[in-house]
Amino acid sequence: MQNLKQILAIVLVFNLAILNAQEQEEAHVAAESGLSLREQPDISAKMLSKLSYGEAIGVIEKTDKKLVILDSGKKVSGEWVKVETRNHIGYVFNGYLSPNKIARTIRLKLNNLNVEIKNLATSDYKRSHSLKEVDSTTINVDISDKPEGKNIVLLDNDYKQVSLFQRYENSFTFMSSDSNCNSSEWKQFNTEWKPLKQLKSNTFETLTYTENDWVNFVKTATKAIKDDAANKCGKDWLDYVKTIKNIKDYPVSISKERVFIKFILTDFEDNITEKIIEFEMPQS
């Protein structure tokens, strides 16, 4: 009988846990600069983390603790709510929450052209960049994401032609049980520019890199370091490296550092301007 009571108690607790989970409402962070998750429902309370734009969270309960924030001259009203994320339980201001899924859009402003990059998470929460006065800008990609397979949409386009190209930069190093055969530093290599796939008249898709791209990159890199590697490691070692079929294979290491998008803009007088977007990849 005692065992039966224990089993029933466990089942009751389990069912209550499921019920509580089901009662959570999903919400999405609508603050483009990110939303502070705090330990208590107070703007001076300890910040547990900063939630990224578009991130999905679970709303556990309302607090009825009202708050009004002045944002760029506009009043944003709401209250503190208790929420659950993948790593924390804390409180956020619900004036910057939406019940609907939010695309993580990055906006680029160029002369005579606006650009949107869809569904890309950033590590610094910066969602807008201006390229009107400069030729390049850097987008810091979040460790949970990558710039591959993303849609780039051209808006308010007042150019005769817009062409997009992509390349990436890898770092390459090699090693051996023989300490004399280790490269002393990472060596950077850039791939050739390749045109982006055009989905619609105003929509492009960034290129996605496969395992075969990395294997081919090993061949490119070993060819470039041929003399240095042969002197340090010998021809047999170099011949072995050329047979590598898996980038995780010893004795080389590859790190994808940066991805670049190049815009070639041609106006109606056939003047050409180039703009570069650099995606900085996080190192895990």
So what's the pLDDT on residue 192? 87
Neighbours of 281 (CB within 10 A): 19
Who's near 25: CB < 8 A, 6+ residues apart? Answer: 58, 59, 99
CA distance 2 to 10: 13
CA distance 223 to 189: 11
Who's near 252: CB < 8 A, 6+ residues apart? Answer: 172, 173, 174, 175, 218, 221, 222, 241, 244
Who's near 164: CB < 8 A, 6+ residues apart? Answer: 152, 195, 196, 204, 261, 262, 263, 264
CA distance 81 to 65: 8
The stretches in the chain having pLDDT less than 50 are 4, 7-14, 16-22
So what's the pLDDT on residue 22? 45
CA nearest to 33, candidates 81, 94, 104, 101: 104
What pTM value is reported for the model? 0.65
Q: Which amino acid is at 179?
A: S
> What region does 30 belong to: left with phi over 0, alpha with psi -120 to 50, or beta?
alpha
48 near 90, Cβ under 8 Å? yes
CA distance 199 to 42: 47
So what's the pLDDT on residue 261? 97
So what's the pLDDT on residue 188? 67
Coil vs helix vs strand at 179: helix
pLDDT in tens, 30-82: 887 789 999 999 999 999 998 888 888 999 999 999 999 988 788 999 999 99
CA distance 76 to 67: 8
pLDDT in tens, 188-208: 677 889 999 999 999 999 999
Who's near 130: CB < 8 A, 6+ residues apart? Answer: 108, 109, 137
So what's the pLDDT on residue 184? 56
Rg (CA), the chain: 26
Beta bridge partners of 195: 165
